[in-house]
Amino acid sequence: MGEKLWWVRGMAWQLKCVPLIDGDRIFVNGWETGGDQAQRSEVPEFTQMLAEHDKDHDGKLSPSELPTSFTAEWFGDNDLNHDGYIDQREWGFYQVRNAAENCLVAIRAGGRGDVTHSHVLWRYRKALPNTSSPLLYQGVIYMVRDGIFTSLNPENGTMYKQARLAGALGHYWSSPVAADGRIFAVSEDGKVVVLRAAPEWEILAVNNLNEDTFATPAILDGRIYVRTRETLYCFAKLR
């Protein structure tokens, strides 16, 4: 049985990105629907919900008792034991999930226990990726979300540059990768964007593979491998 050594509170309720590790610093990004600051709302206590809506006084909330703003989809997501009611534990789960906050958080390693107040260096909250992991390359953090590309200072989380990837908008599921002073980012539409790696990054080229692409490219020995839905490409400088 493993032992929980340390933890940080106040993150997204679902994490998909690979963390970045740089010396004694760890960068963790998490984004999920409903977790952006503007979307978050106060969730009342379960006792208050029961007082207002538990018409048959059975201590649980049925779909017909809940206000119509709680959709069938919401019910399906939150009725964890599928018994057709929301009970105290399930409402607690919903409260915790609703309190979750999307952010990229920088954490100093080496703490023990709850290090939320002692080891969190900074948080960043704008245009965070969902599945696309951030990239740390030559002392700069890069990330891409829906065609918005961001460079950050890993020391303090301040933004260097955030702008749209002209000619390559749309969703990005894959993670950016880097080599040779270049960053490569591939959109769902199959646009391969090549950027100059720098705090004030710029687009060098947009190549269109014309095919759905979800996989992160791989780089090895001067070659870059890109897998689209149907094809595995290998690009290299021809000698």
Residue ranges in contact with Ca ion by CB under 5 A: 54, 56, 58, 60, 79, 81, 83, 85
Minimum CB–partner distance for residue 12 and Ca ion (Å): 24
Minimum CB–partner distance for residue 35 and Ca ion (Å): 23
Task: Using the minimum distance from each CB to Ca ion, give the nearer residue, 96 or 236.
Answer: 96
Whole-number Å distance between alpha carbons of 103 and 15: 10
Task: Using the minimum distance from each CB to Ca ion, give the nearer residue, 93 or 173.
Answer: 93
What phi, psi does 27 have (nearest 5°)?
-115, 125
Q: Are 150 and 207 in contact (CB under 8 A)?
A: no
Whole-number Å distance between alpha carbons of 129 and 150: 10
Task: Using the minimum distance from each CB to Ca ion, give the nearer residue, 89 or 196.
Answer: 89
Minimum CB–partner distance for residue 138 and Ca ion (Å): 51
Task: Using the minimum distance from each CB to Ca ion, give the nearer residue, 40 or 97.
Answer: 97
Whole-number Å distance between alpha carbons of 134 and 131: 9
Task: Using the minimum distance from each CB to Ca ion, give the nearer residue, 59 or 139.
Answer: 59
Question: Would you state the structure tokens that stand for residue 98, as one six-digit string?
Answer: 């609703």
Give Cα separations from 237 to 115, 216, 222 (angstroms). 47, 20, 8
* Number of C-beta neighbours around residue 180 at 10 A: 8
What phi, psi does 76 have (nearest 5°)?
-60, -35
Minimum CB–partner distance for residue 67 and Ca ion (Å): 14
Minimum CB–partner distance for residue 72 and Ca ion (Å): 14
Cross-strand partners of 124 = 104
Task: Using the minimum distance from each CB to Ca ion, give the nearer residue, 41 or 81.
Answer: 81
Task: Using the minimum distance from each CB to Ca ion, give the nearer residue, 36 or 54.
Answer: 54
Q: Are 28 and 9 in contact (CB under 8 A)?
A: no
Minimum CB–partner distance for residue 85 and Ca ion (Å): 5
SS (H, E, C) 61-130: ECCCCCCCCCCHHHHHHHCCCCCCCECHHHHHHHHHHHHCCCEEEEEECCCCEECCCCCEEEEECCCCCC
